[in-house]
Structure 1
Amino acid sequence: MGCAGVIVASGSSRRMGFDKLAAPLAGKPVLRRSLEALLAVPEITRVIVVCGEERFDDLLRGDHPKPVLRVDGGAERQDSVYAGLSAVKASEELVAVHDGARPLVDPGDISACIAAAREHGAASLGRTVTETLKRTDADGLVLGGLDRSNLWFTETPQVFRTDLLLEAYRQVREQGLVVTDEVSAMEPMGIATRMIQSTRPNPKITVPADLEAAHALLA
């Protein structure tokens, strides 16, 4: 099965206060590191980057070892994902959707997700919850603990059969649903996603402290 990569990179970085995807990370912009991680995966034959033309020209323009296509995003993340999916070819039976703000993802972990999606139709990178979890009231007072067994933090990439994910997003759009990731888009269809444990930290750059942590991890 051919696998396309879709990188979602059209956000405005409001919480960061500056363009986090352009922030230098060990000499390269965050977005370029995310792109290079997907390009390093043997199973991925082409990458579609969902972002504005100026961001693409500033951060990603140049020669790449595989085809890289840019498409415009939408108002919300789910609109941008759908725009990227619309550019996937019929021969690309699998699609790996990745957040442009996760520059440290391991190519081997991406391959593991692709292998799981080939078998199960749906797979996501993530990590099991190891911290103690507490529920509080509106004032921050602890009401009790939560059982962390079988709980996961979801990450990206999230890999699916292309036809399944396209149908999921069509239903999301038709029903006016709001979803924050592809696993959530699949749930109304009753399709379970196989979780794959990340083998190394794969943080999402959201606030300045995340960028500092990413520098430390690379160092």
Structure 2
Amino acid sequence: MSTTAIIVAAGNSSRMGFHKLTADLLGKPVLRWTIEAFDACPSVDALLIVVGDATREMVLDWAELGIFKKPITLSEGGVQRYLSVYEGLKRLSEDTDIVAVHDGARPLITTEQITRCIERARACKAAVCARPMTETLKRADVHGVISGDIDREHAWVMETPQVFDKALLSLAYEHVVKDGLLVTDEVSAVQLLNEPIHVVDNPLPNLKVTYPSDLELAARLLRSAKTKQPES
């Protein structure tokens, strides 16, 4: 089954103060780390990068330099994230069976976890990288005063990649766009079809770079991962 990874890299980084995907992370832009993880994954056959004004030329330069081994297609981003994915879906090869959608701002994803998510989606059509909620959760009122508890049992934090049968995900987004709905991720879109989606537990950090402090944390985690790698 042919798998294409859609890497979403068209956001404007409004909460960051500067463009997070072009920010330096141990000598490489954040987005470069992300793309390289999928390029190195044996379960991925092709890459489709959804770009914006800040990332378009950078990705084009990398492609022209022949840095990546897998075929790369560029797609223009939409006003919202879900519209960016929708545009990317329309540019997929007809040979694509499985689609893995990933945030360009999650540079710590491993090839092993990507493979686990893809294998699960090949078996059940819909799988999402996630981690179980372990923190204590409280609900607060409009004044910021704690008003109650939130049960964390069976609660999961959604991450990416979110991996689906192409026909299923395309149908979900056609429904979203046709009805003018707003969804924040692919899971939300596919849920509207009442299709079962399976979580794939991710045992390793997979943070989304959102604030400047996240870059420092990502750098520490990458250094730690490198020191733990066995010598060849």
Taking only aligned residues, the RMSD between alpha carbons, in angstroms, comes to 1.1
8 A Cα contact 1:53 1:70, kept in partner: no
User: 1:44 is paired with a residue of what secondary structure?
Assistant: coil
1:171 aligns with 2:175: yes
CA contact (8 A) 1:53 1:72 kept: no
Aligned runs of 1:16-95 on 2, under 5 Å?
16-52=16-52, 55-59=55-59, 60-61=62-63, 62-63=65-66, 64-95=68-99
3-state SS of 2:45 partner:
strand
Q: Which secondary structure does the structure 1 equivalent of 2:189 belong to? A: helix
Q: Could you tell me how far apart the structure 2 residues matched to 1:33 and 1:5 are?
A: 14
Query: How many aligned positions are there?
Result: 219
The corresponding residue for 2:148 is 144
* TM-score, structure 2 normalization: 0.92
2:134 match: secondary structure: coil
Asked whether the equivalents of residues 22 and 54 of structure 2 are also in contact (C-alpha less than 8 Å), the reply is no
CA deviations on 1:107-133 (whole Å, 9 max, x unpaired) are 100100001101110000010000000
Distance 1:92 1:58 in 2: 26
- The unaligned stretches of length 5 or more in structure 1 are none
Distance 1:211 1:52 in 2: 21
Closer/same/farther in 2, CA of residues 155 and 138 from structure 1, 3 Å limit: same
Aligned to 1:130: 134
Task: Give 3-state SS (helix, strand or coil) of 1:218's partner.
Answer: helix
The 2-side partners of 1:114 and 1:91 are apart by 16
Q: Deviations over 1:150-176 (max 9, x none)?
A: 101100000000000000000000110
Contact 1:128 1:151 in 2 (8 A): yes
**Correspondence for 2:192 among 188, 191, 195:** 188
Assess if the C-alpha contact under 8 Å between 1:134 and 1:142 holds in 2.
yes
